[in-house]
Chain A
Amino acid sequence: MLLVATFVLHIFFVTLALGTSGLSLFGFWWKKGNWPTLARLAARVTPNAVGLGIVTGIAPLLFIQVIYDPAWYTANTLTGFWSVAFIFVVMGGYSLAYLFYLKGSPEGRLLWAAAFSLALLFFAGWIMHVLASVSIYPEKWLQWYAPGGAVDTRGMHFHAYNLPRLTLLLPIQALLSLATVLMLLAWYFRKREDFDRSFLDWVASLGRRIALWVVPLFWLAGMGWAATQGRYFDLHGPMEIWFTLLALGLFLFYRSLRNPALQAPQALGVWLVALLNVGIMRELVRAASLERFGYRVAEYPWQLDWGGVTIFVLTTLVGVTVLAFLVGVLYASGSKKEGVEVSPALERLGSVAVGMLGAWFGFFLLLGVYTVIFLR
């Protein structure tokens, strides 16, 4: 469950990066009306979304490596070259996104940087898609490793992919994450007097329109995924029903939005739930594939280790407090043009967060001293 929950956060930021990157390109190319203004805002979001996408991706990657280790490691070795190239590709995409934001976006120059950035970020997504795909076909691993009996240790082939699944997970979800964030932007800045109300209304309505147009494509891609990979793993029936209900629910929700600028938080909640559903579906496909070989996550051997549990639980308490403060400050700081004095409650939370993080080191050192003196 933790794997899926953390994956939702990760895929939200990844798709947001792709969506805002695409929007900034389009906006500066189209150049009409409000588009360049919106493109400028989007260009600012992209690199931060990439950074957050990377850091939120660490948790699901960690869980994958623990509970699906045979499949994940095999996929990475069979596709070794691209597995390693992945990070260079992301670095390239991120650097170009920042270059475009800092030097190009104020006047809509350096569009080539934005275009290359989008291409590289998408390619990084493609690599991860291939790794995930390779990991669910154990029956083909030996054939891929040693085609014709001779071992190939280059890891340069894209052995497996599924275009409907890729289309759903990346471009389509990118548009829907973008649509959600457009509504959120309008919601967030609506109290700022320096923002033109008609511009914000246009942004929110654009978000809603994008969502309404894209949801049918979401359904189509989902059905395509069900008809291909779903059928292969005998899951197409449930997947078709699931996608139909999900798409229908999303469509009705977006249609019901009378004032998207005010209802953006609900839109975010609904979209995160939808992402959670897609995440669960991904895991079901993986589970169905590995089940064929007798591999079940529920039966994964687990040894309770109190040291690790203690450190993790305490760090979670500290981490959540600190992050709540940081997000709170970020949220508050943008609510007025000239900045703000944060509320006394948030200020107190900050003091508690600093104190807790400082105390964490005390706990960490004491645990170490205890281990060295008493456990040996």
Chain B
Amino acid sequence: MFPIWEGVWVHSAMFIAIISAFHVLASHITVAAGWFNLFLERKAVYENRPELYAYLKRSALGLLVFAYVFGAMAGVGIWQSTTAANPRGISALIHNFVLYWGAEWYMFLIDVVGIIAYYYTFGRVSPRTHLKIAWLLALGGTGTLAIIVGILSFKLTPGNWLQSGLSLEGFYNPTFWPQLFMRFFLMFTITGAWALLIASLMPKNFPERERIIRYAAAFGLLGLVLALIVFTTWYYPALPEHARAILFTPAIPSPTFAVIQGGLILTALGLIFALSAPKLQHPLIALGAMGVLFAAIFGAERTREVMRKPDIIHGYMSSNQLVMTDVPAKGIRAEEQPLHERGMMKNLPFLQLPEASSLVGTQPVAREHQLEVGRLLTLQQCSACHSVSPQTSLQIGEKRLELRSLARLLEARNQTTQASIAAYLGAIGGFPYMHPFVGTEAERQAMAAYLAWLVSERRGMEQARR
């Protein structure tokens, strides 16, 4: 176990979500833009339409400055943020898939060196040589997608890996294929919006402007339709029952679906508009489509993450970073049950403050110690998904931004005393998206004491503000 980083003002999990959504937007653009640009460049070469290079060069500059490099940076950002927020989760992934990530690194290199070569060699090498670079960009981008989807989908459906420990079985897991194709198609929608933006920024008298807008809209719409078909006929049915059940629980706030569906509908309408009236296309419309898509992606990625709650890796490691299952093939032993029996305090690194040690025993303890121990346990068991202190909240006017604040949730459920909260904690595993409390009876009481204090503190703050 590692120290806990809660986040500052913004909850640590929200940092991950923001960076991830941005990464998805940027990296998805690179993959499908590679294919879209290849499509246009083939036309430029084989149909002798050199005027298309003007668009390709502008698109390449945008991709170079924004999508490829920012995408790569945000990718590193995901590592940094997950390392800080949930180190054992990312550690489990990296230790299983280090060589897959190593392979993906080559694809990253191809992407970044490729886009630099692509942009800086326009007009400096023959069209056919340049076309080869376009092929490499399209294939390299798709390579990064293919590899990362294996690792991402492993978290929701580790499949036979739990028995065999073979990385291949974890990688080519039950939701790998549908997610791969769904994402691949959806990328064309994102790229459609991107291409609309670039094309609409071209001068009105650019001869290929309207045709490119039509191509982009058609690519985007086709991608959206295919992605929806894969989602409904392949991806959703492949989801484990547990994940499907979670979709309809309060774990996913209801506005999320409205944002996703609304985002997709608005994007589709925007693409239809572009297809039917390319002359009227304006950069602001394309920017709007990108913004709406970002919101939809944010909602969809959050939903994907929540679907495997309360686990980081479903059936293997819970959000509190403890391993819950033996994986004999890898020599991994479950940690939860022994800790449940012996207690968390003193049995995990960074959960052994000397002042708090007297709790592990039968002697009465000072209330301050009990609260500090309760705070530590709450941090360890709850802070991956919940705001457990004012440190991760942001007051904007009347609105307080928090991530599933525990104090607010407990108050809403009328669990405000130590006794009631202790009982509530005892039954918390009954929620499909919650994990049972791990620890001894004394530790449960300590946690309840801290949470009761937290509720009262929050009440006090609210009253003072009023």
B106 in contact with A316 (CB, 8 Å): yes
B106 in contact with A315 (CB, 8 Å): yes
User: Which of chain A's residues have a CB closer than 8 A to the CB of B136?
Assistant: 322, 325-326, 353-354, 357
A315 in contact with B7 (CB, 8 Å): no
User: Which of chain B's residues have a CB closer than 8 A to the CB of A319?
Assistant: 103, 106-107, 109-110
B95 at the interface (CB under 8 A from A): yes
- Please give 14 more A-B residue pairs, beta carbons under 8 A apart, in addition to A94-B73, A155-B84: A55-B105, A65-B83, A65-B90, A87-B19, A91-B73, A153-B379, A311-B103, A312-B100, A322-B136, A325-B132, A326-B110, A326-B114, A339-B124, A375-B168
Report Cα–Cα, A174/B462, bound state, in Å: 52
User: Which of chain A's residues have a CB closer than 8 A to the CB of B94?
Assistant: 62, 65-66, 69
B70 at the interface (CB under 8 A from A): yes
Chain A: which residue is nearest B176 at the CB level? A368
B103 in contact with A312 (CB, 8 Å): yes
A61 in contact with B79 (CB, 8 Å): yes
Proximity string of chain A (139-179) to chain B, C-beta cutoff 8 Å, 1 when within and 0 when not: 00110011001110111100000000000000000000000
A146 in contact with B353 (CB, 8 Å): yes
Report Cα–Cα, A155/B376, bound state, in Å: 15
Q: Please list 22 pairs of residues, one from A and one from B, whose beta carbons are closer than 8 Å in the complex, sorted by A's number.
A: A54-B73, A65-B91, A74-B2, A84-B15, A84-B84, A87-B81, A90-B73, A151-B375, A151-B376, A305-B166, A305-B168, A307-B166, A308-B97, A315-B102, A315-B103, A319-B103, A330-B116, A339-B123, A339-B124, A350-B133, A353-B132, A358-B139
Q: How many residues of A contact B (CB 8 A)?
A: 91
Nearest CB on B from A145, distance (A): 5
Given contacts A146-B353, A151-B379, A332-B125, contact A354 B135 (CB under 8 A): yes
B143 at the interface (CB under 8 A from A): yes
A57 at the interface (CB under 8 A from B): yes
Size category, B interface: 35 or more
Contact pick for B125, options A50, A61, A141, A340, CB 8 Å: A340
User: Which of chain B's residues have a CB closer than 8 A to the CB of A63?
Assistant: 98
B355 at the interface (CB under 8 A from A): yes
Given contacts A83-B84, A353-B132, A361-B146, contact A371 B172 (CB under 8 A): yes
Nearest CB on B from A51, distance (A): 4
A273 at the interface (CB under 8 A from B): no
A368 in contact with B5 (CB, 8 Å): no
Report Cα–Cα, A326/B112, bound state, in Å: 10
A329 in contact with B87 (CB, 8 Å): no
Nearest CB on B from A123, distance (A): 15
User: Which of chain B's residues have a CB closer than 8 A to the CB of A59?
Assistant: 102, 105
Given contacts A155-B5, A330-B116, contact A51 B124 (CB under 8 A): no
Nearest CB on A from B302, distance (A): 18
A371 in contact with B76 (CB, 8 Å): no
Given contacts A54-B72, A156-B8, contact A312 B99 (CB under 8 A): yes
Report Cα–Cα, A371/B114, bound state, in Å: 31
A76 in contact with B65 (CB, 8 Å): no
User: Which of chain A's residues have a CB closer than 8 A to the CB of B85?
Assistant: 80, 84
Contact pick for A309, options B12, B99, B109, CB 8 Å: B99
B113 in contact with A52 (CB, 8 Å): yes
Binding site secondary structure of chain B: helix
User: Which of chain B's residues have a CB closer than 8 A to the CB of A316?
Assistant: 103, 106
Q: Interface of B with A (CB < 8 Å)?
A: 2-8, 12, 15, 19, 64-65, 68-70, 72-77, 79-81, 83-85, 87-88, 90-91, 94-95, 97-103, 105-114, 116-117, 120-121, 123-126, 128-129, 132-133, 135-136, 139-140, 142-143, 146, 160, 164-169, 171-172, 176-177, 330, 350, 353-355, 372, 375-376, 379, 383, 389, 391
Binding site secondary structure of chain A: helix
Report Cα–Cα, A327/B116, bound state, in Å: 10
A77 at the interface (CB under 8 A from B): yes
Report Cα–Cα, A303/B97, bound state, in Å: 12
A266 at the interface (CB under 8 A from B): no
Given contacts A58-B76, A332-B125, A375-B164, contact A150 B105 (CB under 8 A): no
A323 at the interface (CB under 8 A from B): yes
A83 in contact with B83 (CB, 8 Å): yes
A375 in contact with B160 (CB, 8 Å): yes
Nearest CB on B from A253, distance (A): 29
By Cβ-Cβ distance, the 5 closest A-B pairs, closest first, are A319-B106, A80-B5, A339-B124, A307-B168, A87-B77
Proximity string of chain A (333-376) to chain B, C-beta cutoff 8 Å, 1 when within and 0 when not: 11000111110000100110110011011001001100110011
Chain A: which residue is nearest B169 at the CB level? A375
User: Which of chain B's residues have a CB closer than 8 A to the CB of A340?
Assistant: 124-125
User: Which of chain B's residues have a CB closer than 8 A to the CB of A350?
Assistant: 129, 132-133
